A = this chain, B = another copy of it.
Amino acid sequence: MTATIAESTRLTGQMLIAGKLVTGTGQEIRGFDPANGTLLDPGYRYGDEANVDAACAAAAEAFGPYRATTSEQRARFLESIAANLETIAAPLIARAVAESGLPEARITGEVGRTTGQLRLFAAILREGSWTGARIDPALPDRKPLPRPDIRQRAIPLGPVAVFGASNFPLAFSVAGGDTASALAAGCPVVVKAHDAHPGTSELVARAITDAVTAEGLHPGTFSLLFGSGPGLGTALVTDPRIKAVGFTGSRSGGLALVAAAAGRPEPIPVYAEMSSVNPVFLLDGALATRGGDLGRAFVGSLTMGSGQFCTNPGLVIAVDGPGLDAFVAAARDALSQSSATPMLTPAIAKSYASGVDALSAEADLVERGADSDNPVACRPALFSTDAPTFAGSEVLQGEVFGSSSIIVRCADVDEMSTVAAGLEGQLTATVHADDTDLDAARALLPTLETKAGRILFNGWPTGVEVGYAMVHGGPFPATSDSRTTSVGGRAIERFLRPVAYQDVPKALLPSAIADGNPDGSWRRIDGELTRD
């Protein structure tokens, strides 16, 4: 068994196109270990437009047979991927730790999250509501005209392009949420690997490809490509066979994909999860009773994973006073004791450093964490400013990816509301409130609903539960499409569209909308939910 795993986890440095190992012909990249600054073997060469064409052609060919699989077959496929990832967990975790500089415990948790979300979608497939089955039975005697029999179910959109994210080498990457939800929906997937973890990407792609083979699926159901965003990424998004795009990354990267897709003759959905500063509102009662505790806990959330979370708390908003002073004092103290941990890549570390420099020019420095000899380390930074200065500065309102945050000191509750109303769209908005803050929180809530995809109380935004009710999304620029979520059960809906069947002969009806409910799923009949 060990030999098998060692064999199956020997990296080749190749792409995987419809089950075949393919060597790129472009620029060579390598994994980079940010903990010690070393480049990792093997090299991975970028693919080109011919590789995009091959992957998309195979995906288009696979679409028919793949979407014809049953929910049960796709559930088993997702479970097979999860099991394969668990089989190679040890070498996979080792490689992901080396390529990310993230702690082993974090990466181990991320493997569990990745397999967990694959299994969540397997459960959703078996439960059956994902088909959105609706039946309006015929009314042959209706006047003035009889009503035909009309039934509705969802079908998959077609091949989906997924862009791996840098900061979650497993959960938002090759077999991450976008891939899991697209495969669940019945869409073949072509992944563009993120340059930050090519070895991890290859290992995961092979786990998926092995599951494709084991479950007897069309090899074009999955492909992995390496390449640049502007080059290969644009070619992928503009390929006419691609019918939807999932992306997690920077605002500039996401907007570039949105623009590339807008240039297509046929518009397609682009689900880009981009930029968020995740405002945290500290209300007076909470600050008065536990300002110091909040300050310490805040720094824990801020510095975790070198602040490389979409949901990192980059903005704190509170009314000036002794409670906020206690918060700041505790945060300063905790920050001064924090260590500089490595960031994912030299480019991210450089971008963080210049982002902090820009903030330094416009806000007051509260404290920085310890420095480090490691040139890619993230030295945490906390700033403060007043509400008018914040409102007047695009720099202060923008995201700095990493452990950087700004405290906005407001003169009163009205000013805090004004800051809230002026915010861009966010993935999350957090409120710390005690019982005495309920009225203030109630007044703030409608604004936060229009600003964020997730509103949380008395916690920290880092850490996104994978469940049925989660929303990881939000108004622009948090995402390019606020109608959906990239985490949680509803993510499958991003890759589906409804089709109505009018007076279709019973022998031809798909099981989801067949008479007698052979799938045993919830269906809406004449508007009423039923399992009959």
Q: Cβ of A455 and Cβ of B499 under 8 Å apart?
A: yes
Interface residues of A in 426-464 (CB under 8 A from B): 433, 438, 441-442, 445-446, 449-450, 452-459, 463
Q: Cβ of A151 and Cβ of B469 under 8 Å apart?
A: yes
- Given the known inter-chain contacts A450-B158, A504-B455, please indicate yes or no for A136 contacting B499, CB distance below 8 A: no
Contacts of A508 in B (CB 8 A): 438, 441-442, 445
- Given the known inter-chain contacts A136-B469, A526-B468, please indicate yes or no for A501 contacting B148, CB distance below 8 A: no
Contacts of A450 in B (CB 8 A): 155, 158
Contacts of A498 in B (CB 8 A): 453, 471, 473, 483-485, 490
What's the tally of chain A residues with a CB closer than 8 Å to chain B? 79
User: Does A64 sit at the interface, judged by CB under 8 A?
Assistant: yes
- Interface flags, A112-128, vs B, CB<8A=1, else 0: 00000000000110010
Q: Cβ of B527 and Cβ of A455 under 8 Å apart?
A: no
Choose the segment among A12-20, A167-175, A208-216, A474-482 that binds chain B (4+ C-beta atoms closer than 8 Å): A474-482
User: Does A502 sit at the interface, judged by CB under 8 A?
Assistant: yes
- Interface flags, A98-111, vs B, CB<8A=1, else 0: 00000000000100
Q: Which residue of B lies closest to A135 (CB)?
A: B469
Q: Cβ of B438 and Cβ of A468 under 8 Å apart?
A: no
- Given the known inter-chain contacts A454-B500, A469-B152, A481-B267, please indicate yes or no for A438 contacting B490, CB distance below 8 A: no
Contacts of A497 in B (CB 8 A): 453, 473, 475, 482-484
Q: Cβ of B148 and Cβ of A468 under 8 Å apart?
A: no
Task: A144 to B68: give the CA distance in the assembly, Å.
Answer: 39
Selected contact of A150 from candidates B132, B465, B476, B522, CB within 8 Å: B465
- Given the known inter-chain contacts A457-B503, A465-B150, please indicate yes or no for A446 contacting B68, CB distance below 8 A: yes
User: Does A338 sit at the interface, judged by CB under 8 A?
Assistant: no
Contacts of A504 in B (CB 8 A): 455-457
Interface residues of A in 129-159 (CB under 8 A from B): 129, 132, 134-136, 144-145, 147-148, 150-152, 155, 157-158
Contacts of A507 in B (CB 8 A): 438, 442
- Interface flags, A318-348, vs B, CB<8A=1, else 0: 0000000000000000000000000000000
Contacts of A433 in B (CB 8 A): 505
User: Does A7 sit at the interface, judged by CB under 8 A?
Assistant: no
* A residues in contact (CB < 8 Å) with B: 64, 68, 109, 123-124, 127, 129, 132, 134-136, 144-145, 147-148, 150-152, 155, 157-158, 258-259, 262, 266-267, 269, 433, 438, 441-442, 445-446, 449-450, 452-459, 463, 465, 467-471, 473, 475-477, 480-485, 489-490, 496-505, 507-508, 522, 524, 526-527, 529
